[in-house]
């Protein structure tokens, strides 16, 4: 009898991780992190280790009631996965959509490095636009 081994690509691991965050399944996302993983939202200081990253993710989940990812490009070169995407964060009735470039390193189906880069001006303006849209919807009843 032959046993088939199913392999998971590095891209699949990254997509599963971000998908779990979208569904607010933070524990599921954290399980995809290596215990010694590093997370850095550039230019903020890096969180080192699964426990520090879990604290940050749980804090973000409490602060934002929604998170969505729209992929523009995703590519892998060995263990390195690059994502070009739009992230959408929702706080109350206000959503902000902004460009993010992510670098992930995946080893043995666990994320060992997660580094995101974004433009503060883009992030700020996305929430200004989102606040305007929320206000307009409230005033017009739509």
Identify the structural domains of the chain with CATH numbers, from first to last.
10-140 (3.10.450.50)
Neighbours of 4 (CB within 10 A): 5
Query: What is the C-alpha to C-alpha distance for residues 66 and 96, in angstroms, rounded to an integer?
Result: 10
pLDDT given for residue 51 in this prediction = 95
Q: Let me know: does 114 contact 102? Beta carbons within 8 Å.
A: yes
Among the listed residues 12, 116, 119, 122, the single catalytic one is 116
Nearest alpha carbon to residue 112 among 87, 80, 85: 80
Instruction: Please indicate whether residue 87 is annotated as part of the active site.
Output: yes
Which residues have C-beta within 8 Å of that of residue 57, sequence separation ≥ 6?
Answer: 21, 26, 29, 30
Q: C-alpha 25: how far from its chain's center? A: 12
Predicted confidence pLDDT, tens digits, the chain (142 residues): 444 444 579 999 999 999 999 999 999 999 999 999 999 999 889 999 999 999 999 988 888 889 999 999 999 999 999 999 999 989 888 888 999 999 999 999 999 999 999 877 777 666 667 667 767 777 787 6
Tokens of 69: 């990812």
Among the listed residues 12, 34, 51, 87, the single catalytic one is 87
Instruction: Please indicate whether residue 108 is annotated as part of the active site.
Output: no
83 bridge partner residues:
74, 102
Neighbours of 110 (CB within 10 A): 17
**pTM of the predicted structure, to 2 decimals:** 0.85
């Amino acid at each position: 009898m032959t046993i088939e081994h199913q392999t998971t690509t590095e891209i699949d691991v990254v997509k599963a991780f971000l998908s779990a965050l979208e569904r607010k399944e933070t524990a599921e996302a954290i399980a995809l992190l290596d215990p010694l993983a590093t997370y850095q939202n550039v230019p903020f200081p890096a969180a080192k280790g699964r426990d520090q990253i879990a604290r940050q993710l749980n804090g973000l989940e409490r602060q934002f009631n929604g998170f969505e990812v729209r992929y523009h490009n995703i590519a892998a070169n060995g263990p390195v996965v690059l994502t070009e995407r739009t992230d959408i964060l929702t706080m109350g009735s206000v959503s902000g959509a902004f460009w993010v470039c992510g670098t992930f390193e995946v080893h043995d189906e666990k994320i060992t490095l997660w580094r995101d880069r974004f433009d503060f001006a883009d992030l700020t303006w996305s929430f200004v636009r989102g606040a305007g849209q929320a206000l307009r919807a409230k005033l017009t009843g739509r």
